[in-house]
Amino acid sequence: MKKRSPMAAIQSSPTTRLERDSMGELAVPATAYYGVQTARAIENFPISSLRFPRAMIRALGRIKRAAATVNQSLGLLDKSTASAITQAATDVVEGRLDAEFPVDIFQTGSGTSTNMNTNEVISNRATELLGGARGSKLVHPNDHVNLGQSSNDVIPTAIHIAAGELIRQQLIPALTSLQKSLTHKAKEFDQIVKIGRTHLQDATPVRLGQEFGGYARQIALGIHRVTQAQAALSEVALGGTAVGTGLNCHPKFSAKVLALISKETGCIFLKARNHFEAQSAQDSLVDASGALKTLAVSLMKIANDIRWLGSGPRCGLGEINLPETQPGSSIMPGKVNPVIAESVTMVCAQVIGNDVTITVGGQAANFELIVMLPVMAYNLFQSIELLAAVSTNFATKCIDGITANEARCKSLIEQSLAMCTALAPEIGYDAAAKLAKEAYKSGKTVRQIAKEQKVLSDKRLAQLLDPWRMTEPGGPVGSAGG
């Protein structure tokens, strides 16, 4: 039996209305606020379950609402039509019509289907507010809602607005919280000396607080990078219309619209200095994704270190104790795993993968238009939201609850062969290396072997082999290992 298309089912339903566009008539669900072009997109792109998130729909609503206000002020829309569009767009902004945005992410590369989806929803809702029937186009999706606009400038503008809002309202606060948690632990653990590790091998001592201070600095730099990325997104394409020339757009339109949106969001959005750059490429999205990827790399390093430092509890490093959040095994009773840190690493892997897609999308810019905008946007939004959520979770469910295993830290320091590094400036590198090898073979500590061989006085050995002293700059000058 031949499989029926989704549109065939719609056409055979008694609860439909007929709408017409430039390609002819098509049945649309009678209760839908979307219209014929959205219905075509549903039929044309049955690809995935992926849809634009709330942030993008909200941004599109903001653009259409501000556009109606500005077009009225410029004498291009009558008051009643502009008022109806403004109210309908507000419904979109506030999420009351989210179910009316069914178009797949994998659609036309400019996002035209989603722009028209927005225009149709607002058109039909505004028409309804004015007493007209859905589909009657009393308020026209193109002539009124899309006045002075093109999908080619609206969609990239909406992406920038949505990403800028997400970074400012979700990601930066989450990272700030994580950075504060790490800084607090750096201070709490500052008196605890432990063995350092390079190449996963014993190295000279370091304070646990110094390690956590390094993590805090990584996140502080991550905040700086994403803040810069947000600034790079401030230039938007609106006003360029089809190819960047601004055809069919009032010269004052975009600046006025962006002033309204900037005031609403608390983010600065400005008319692009060069509309041909803003519409034919999206280097700023690639740049923003690169900042997110770098942040993911930082988080991956921190989460992996946390897992290693807390490994055990008896047969691993065990220098810190991680909060116990859930049973770790279906077969091993009492086992507890570093699940919060593991969730961080998986988010990081996803973000790094998203960056590859965004990078490839950024190359899909042919002449006056980039044609992978929807998938670039989806991945960018997902990366921002995942990083924000996992940073908050990492701080509250892991970092805040970490305690130090001070006794374990102390015991491992004295056993380390790297303690001989502090002796090298006075007895020489080769002699210090010989001591380390003898300590390893005998099972004794470097301190014990040095005392037995009387390489230095007991007082001088105590000075040089003081672990705390080794965590600060200074002391005898010489090779410090590698």
The band of 50, judged by pLDDT with boundaries at 50, 70 and 90, is very high
Shared domain check, 308 and 214:
yes
Q: pLDDT tens for residues 149-170?
A: 999 999 999 999 999 999 999 9
What's 91's domain CATH number? 1.10.275.10
Q: Residue 70: which of 267, 252, 265, 272 has the closest Cα?
A: 252
Q: Which domain holds residue 229?
A: 153-406
**184 classed as catalytic:** no
User: Are 318 and 434 contained in the same domain?
Assistant: no
Beta bridge partners of 104: 51
Overall number of domains in the chain:
3
pLDDT beyond 50 at 3: no
Q: What is the pTM of this model?
A: 0.93
Average pLDDT of the residues of the chain: 94
**Does residue 12 surpass a pLDDT of 70?**
no
DSSP string spanning 21-56?
ETTEEEEEETT-SS-HHHHHHHHH----S-B--HHH
pLDDT above 50 for 4: no
Higher pLDDT pick, 172 / 445: 172
Which of the residue ranges 81-95, 126-140, 284-298, 442-456 would you say has the lowest mean pLDDT? 442-456
Question: Taking residues 424-429, what's their average pLDDT?
Answer: 91
Residues 359-381 have a mean pLDDT of 97
Residue linked to tokens 């606009």? 149
| Per-residue pLDDT band at 58 (split at 50, 70, 90) | very high
pLDDT for residue 13 is more than 70: no
Position of tokens 């590369």?
109
Q: Which band of pLDDT confidence, cut at 50, 70 and 90, is reported for residue 442?
A: very high
Question: Do the domain assignments include residue 26?
Answer: no
Residue 243 has pLDDT above 90, yes or no: yes
Helices and strands (DSSP H and E) totals, the chain = 19, 10
Task: Spot the catalytic one: 13, 48, 73, 329.
Answer: 329
Annotated active-site residue in 22, 49, 199, 330: 199
Average pLDDT over residues 249-272: 97
Residues 55 and 163 in one domain: no
CA 272, 276, 279 angle in degrees (round to 5)? 75
The verdict on residue 334 lying in a domain is: yes
Same domain, 448 and 365: no
CA distances from 155 to 64, 125, 172, 279, 304 (A): 11, 21, 24, 10, 38
Structural domain ending residue among the three candidates 406, 427, 444: 406
pLDDT for the residue numbered 7: 44
329 is catalytic: yes
Specify whether 352 is located in the same domain as 267. yes
Residues 333 and 441 in one domain: no
Q: Beta strand 24-29 with 320-321: parallel, antiparallel or unpaired? A: unpaired
Please say which residue of 147, 170, 204 terminates a domain: 147
207 and 139: one domain? no
Q: For the purposes of burial, counting CB atoms within 10 Å of the CB of 271, is it exposed (0-12), middle (13-18) or buried (19 or more)? A: buried
pLDDT digits (tens, 9 = 90+) for 309-320: 999 988 999 999
